[in-house]
Amino acid sequence: MAVSGLWFEQLEPGLRVEHATTRTVTETDNVLFTTMTMNPQPLHLDAEFAATTEFGRPLVNSLFTLGLVVGLAVPELTLGTTVANLGFSRVDFPAPVFTGDTIHVVTDVVDARRSRSRPGAGIVTFSHHGINQRGETVCVAVRAAMMRCRPEPAPGPG
């Protein structure tokens, strides 16, 4: 399996990662995600309704934004090195996301400790910040993940 994520030992508090991949949100993303999750909110799906709101146009579903922000962090942090996502202690959406916005992510490692119940793993707290092309923070997600420790090298011949 390809591993590009970091092992527990590499995820020290204070580490900041500016993720390379960015993503422009499309109308299709918003409509598909909103309808697939059975959310009938017209603020996401009805341009005429959304035009009457303070935003003047449809908002991108915030749960899509959350998933995108966490997903954009995977290649450099957790690809092949995570055991499980343990939960979110904070999720904020300080600015709206609209179709056509391009999101990039910066992640800070807030805390890291060895797992008390699982040898070979540690628990890391990440703070992900989704930022649009105007430099506005659109999502802050603080989450804990169980991460694999670096595997021991295979014994040599002999």
Q: Which domains does the chain have, with CATH numbers?
A: 15-148 (3.10.129.10)
Q: Are residues 34 and 41 in contact, defined by beta-carbon separation less than 8 angstroms?
A: yes
Q: Which phi and psi angles does 72 have, rounded to 5°?
A: -65, -20
How confident is the model at residue 108, as a pLDDT? 98
Chain segment 7-35, per-residue pLDDT in tens: 999 999 999 999 999 999 999 999 999 99
Q: Which long-range contacts (CB under 8 A, 24 or more apart) does 129-137 make?
A: 129/69, 129/105, 130/65, 130/68, 130/69, 130/72, 130/103, 130/104, 130/105, 131/103, 131/104, 131/105, 131/106, 132/95, 132/97, 132/101, 132/102, 132/103, 133/101, 133/102, 136/94, 136/95, 137/94, 137/95
State mean pLDDT over 110-116. Answer: 97
pTM here? Answer: 0.94
How confident is the model at residue 158, as a pLDDT? 58
Chain segment 59-81, per-residue pLDDT in tens: 999 999 999 999 999 999 999 99
